[in-house]
Amino acid sequence: MKDNISVWEDEGGSLNEVINRGMTGSAGQIESAERIGAQVNGEFDRVSNALQAMALKQSDQGRLTTFAIMLILEEKRGEVLANERAGYVCPDWQELHDQVRKWIMNDPQYKAIKQPGQSKSAGPA
């Protein structure tokens, strides 16, 4: 993932643009994956913005938890957008409702943060 972030930062473009140049699949799959990929990236942005807004209203401890969740979010974004198989994006991401939130909540790192006794104030939007 670090290499993907480096590429994104070094080239000044979105990670999605870099990956689409090397995407594999049928022409129709690639076209759909490019369209859906932009929507997926937008959904990650929406969740990130909601978490940032929440962090501004939290205590220091709550903010740390929210920032940890934001790191998980960015890891998931990198995993999704780094997949070069166009067919991967199409079936899994056509229906975005709650997809990002569910994926984060199923992440082992998130589950460790949210173990009993932890603050319930932070979570994906």
Could you write out the DSSP letters of every residue in 43-76? HHHHHHHHHHHHHTTS-HHHHHHHHHHHHHHHHH
pLDDT at res. 94: 59
Report the distance separating Cα 109 and Cα 125, nearest Å.
17
In a domain, 125, yes or no: no
pLDDT band at 61 (very low <50, low <70, confident <90, very high): very high
Mean pLDDT of 79-99: 69
pLDDT for the residue numbered 31: 82
In a domain, 119, yes or no: no
Residue 122 in any domain: the answer is no
Note whether residue 123 is domain-resident: no
Say what the pLDDT of residue 93 is: 63
- Across 48-83, b (16+ Cβ under 10 Å) vs e yields beebeebbeebeeebbebbeebbebbeebbbebbbb
Looking at residue 17, what is its pLDDT? 39
The token pair at 54 is: 């929440």
Is 124 contained in some domain? no
Domain that holds residue 100: 2-113
**Within a domain: residue 74?**
yes
89 in a domain, yes or no?
A: yes
Q: What pLDDT, on the 0 to 100 scale, is given for residue 115?
A: 81
Average pLDDT of the segment spanning 104-108:
89
Overall domain count for the chain: 1
pLDDT confidence of residue 13: 40
Model pLDDT, residue 15: 42
Contact 73, 104 (CB under 8 A): yes
Q: What are the residues whose beta carbons fall under 8 Å from the beta carbon of 32, sequence distance 6 or more?
A: 86, 89, 90
Taking each helix axis from N to C end, the angle separating 60-82 and 27-55, rounded to the nearest 10 degrees, works out to: 170
pLDDT band, very low/low/confident/very high, at 12 (cuts 50, 70, 90): very low
Q: Is residue 118 part of a domain?
A: no
At 123 the pLDDT is: 65
| CB of 110 closer than 8 Å to CB of 72 | yes
